Structure 1
Amino acid sequence: MTEIETKTHTLDAAGARITYDVRAAAAGDPAADPALLLVGSPMDATGFATLASYFTDRTVVTYDPRGVGRSPRTDGATENTPEEHADDLRRVIEALGTGPVDVFASSGGAVNALALVEGQGSLVRNLVAHEPPSARVLPDREVVLAVCEDIHATYLREGMGPAMVKFFSVVSRKGPFPADWADEPLPSPSEFGLPTEDDGKRDDALLGLNMRTCTGYLPDFEALRAAPTHIVIAAGKESEDEFPARAAAEIAAALGTGLSVFPSHHGGFLGGEYGREGAPEEFAQALREALRTGE
């Protein structure tokens, strides 16, 4: 197996110090295949280990988003915005010094990458945005935004366990949210192996830093259509009718691109990271094909 050299770098951003990793290509033509930037949020770089292993012919860049892992916030802020994340991505791409990159972005990372292309499209050749959870594009947007607000408020009031139970109920639901969602019974956190007691911490990247701002993002469709970037909006085959996949379908329709269906689920690129298995080999092949459509 070819040994891939990985170098870790840090850079200063407004209110944060960002850490990113560059895995040098083992082969390939950098002129034909620019660096591939893999973007998640709140997931850090470790979640892309398996997916990156299928792209040894390209330079692959991963990073920890602000407030996660090796990229601490330095300003004490309690929430991130997609615009802040987009500016961090801009800084990483410019620090590479190689010109425009290709980007695969998943979940909240897809929201942040869309925000990047809105303002800095010249930095991105191709963007594959996988299941961006933008509640504001949904027909049931008011209810979904209220649900996300309630998750955040529950976290601040009661801690991680009760908030994560509500989050799990959101991501597993098929179809629109009913108006009486707040009356639905919920299981105990212990049934999911979650803590039942509040540890007092309020720095969780999902529930605290990004929940409201990520789901509250509304794409600037005019800016996205005007950008030089080739944009592919994707969702997992098994994710059909779930919140992030529904949002992806609405964004694709608004852009007039059509929705690309990828193998597996919301974390289809995972190969055991965080105890979750997707279909990473098939996912990587679908990603290659999606990137080729923009060449």
Structure 2
Amino acid sequence: MTAPVADSLRVNGATLHYEVRGSGPLLLLIPGGTGGAAAFDGVVDHLAATHTVVTYDPRGMARSTLDDPAAEQHVAEHADDALRLLDLLSPDAPARVFGTSSGAIVALHLLSTRPDRVERVVAHEPPVVEVLPDVAAHRAWLARVRETFRTQGLMPAMSVFATGLKEDGEATAPEAELRLPPRAAARAERTMAGLPYFVGRIVPSFMAYAPDVHRMSSLTDRLVLARGRDSAGELPCRAAAFLAGRLGVPFQHFPGGHVGLTTHPVEYGEALEASFRTPIRA
């Protein structure tokens, strides 16, 4: 893998660790779940052949530290972090942005609030459950996740979380962003270390996020919504599909399921690169 140029950026209430590779148009990759820059290890070299690729650890995860470790987390603040990276690394031109899962929610908010800084956003399965007609049931499920985490701890809360993500409600290993990546032990340890933060502060805030559908309806010429080919019926895919229907934009299919970035990295990287050079058809 190509060695990155690594640096840090001070933002409001945090210090972000970021890495830059390649040359060409700027492409900012926003990870989901407990993923940081390392989440894109399997695709970054392919993308860096045609882009200046920026990966980073979101605030509070891995090497991006919070000034106040107990601070509440908000989508708008995470999107502002992404904006600060764009302002630093592509000050004179709009950039390309990819986000997956909770990172896709960040990318959607960035597009809605600062479309002048974004050439195109590719959002893979943003779990925007607030757009769903049965949102009340999902709010109750998220409340159970929070209460289970408070009263029983991390692993029981992860089980409740994973159950709610599946179409049939069957408890399985928490596939959406919580499956340990099959990489080095140090990376696995970082994943585990980030789970309490993710379940306790990212999940409740991000999955309560309601996208500005009216605003986004005027920006569909620069938005691609994507789903995993194996994700049919799962909650993040269903929410993203409903949003695509509301906006009248087509769905692009990526290899694998919600974590296809991990399970099918070569094919996923090819699909992602193609999504930035294929004209958007509304």
With the shorter chain as reference, the TM-score category is 0.7 to 0.9
Matched, 1:149 2:149: no
Name the CA distance, whole Å, in 2 between partners of 1:193 and 1:259. Answer: 25
Matched, 1:50 2:48: no
Counterpart in the other structure of 1:72: 65
Q: 2:87 aligns with which of 78, 94, 108?
A: 94
Q: Which runs of 5+ in 1 are unaligned?
A: 178-183, 195-200, 271-277
Name the CA distance, whole Å, in 1 between partners of 2:28 and 2:209. Answer: 21
The Cα shift of 1:169 comes to: 1.4
Q: Deviations over 1:51-108 (max 9, x none)?
A: 1122131211001111111111113444311101100000011110352111111000
Counterpart in the other structure of 2:127: 133
Name the CA distance, whole Å, in 2 between partners of 1:193 and 1:6. Answer: 25
SS of corresponding position for 2:61:
coil
SS of corresponding position for 1:211:
helix
The 5 A counterparts of 1:1-295 are: 4-25=2-23, 30=24, 34-42=25-33, 43-57=35-49, 58-98=51-91, 99-171=93-165, 173-174=166-167, 204-227=196-219, 230-270=222-262, 278-294=263-279
Q: Deviations over 1:118-165 (max 9, x none)?
A: 111111111110000111111211111211121122112221111111
Which stretches of structure 1, 4 residues or more, deviate above 3 A after TM superposition?
186-189
Instruction: Verify the 8 A CA contact 1:154 1:163 in the aligned structure 2.
Output: yes
Q: Which runs of 5+ in 2 are unaligned?
A: 181-192
The Cα shift of 1:239 comes to: 0.4
Q: Deviations over 1:178-205 (max 9, x none)?
A: xxxxxx9x6999xx999xxxxxx99722
Q: TM-score, normalised by structure 2?
A: 0.85
Instruction: Verify the 8 A CA contact 1:86 1:112 in the aligned structure 2.
Output: yes
Instruction: Verify the 8 A CA contact 1:45 1:63 in the aligned structure 2.
Output: yes
SS of corresponding position for 1:55:
helix
Name the CA distance, whole Å, in 2 between partners of 1:114 and 1:78. Answer: 23
Name the CA distance, whole Å, in 2 between partners of 1:41 and 1:265. Answer: 14
The Cα shift of 1:286 comes to: 1.7
Instruction: Verify the 8 A CA contact 1:253 1:259 in the aligned structure 2.
Output: no
Identity of aligned residues (%): 34
How large is the Cα RMSD of the aligned pairs?
2.7
Name the CA distance, whole Å, in 1 between partners of 2:179 and 2:255. Answer: 28
Instruction: Verify the 8 A CA contact 2:36 2:58 in the aligned structure 1.
Output: yes
Instruction: Verify the 8 A CA contact 1:154 1:162 in the aligned structure 2.
Output: yes
- AA matched with 2:229: K
Q: TM-score, normalised by structure 1?
A: 0.81
- AA matched with 2:78: H
Instruction: Verify the 8 A CA contact 1:155 1:202 in the aligned structure 2.
Output: no
Cα distance change on mapping 1:255 and 1:59 into 2, 3 Å = same
Instruction: Verify the 8 A CA contact 1:237 1:264 in the aligned structure 2.
Output: yes
Name the CA distance, whole Å, in 1 between partners of 2:42 and 2:179. Answer: 26
SS of corresponding position for 2:42:
helix
Instruction: Verify the 8 A CA contact 2:97 2:121 in the aligned structure 1.
Output: yes
SS of corresponding position for 1:79:
coil
SS of corresponding position for 2:159:
helix
The Cα shift of 1:4 comes to: 3.1
Instruction: Verify the 8 A CA contact 1:17 1:73 in the aligned structure 2.
Output: yes
- AA matched with 2:42: T
Name the CA distance, whole Å, in 2 between partners of 1:127 and 1:258. Answer: 14
Name the CA distance, whole Å, in 2 between partners of 1:40 and 1:235. Answer: 15
Q: Of the two, which has the highest radius of gyration?
A: 1
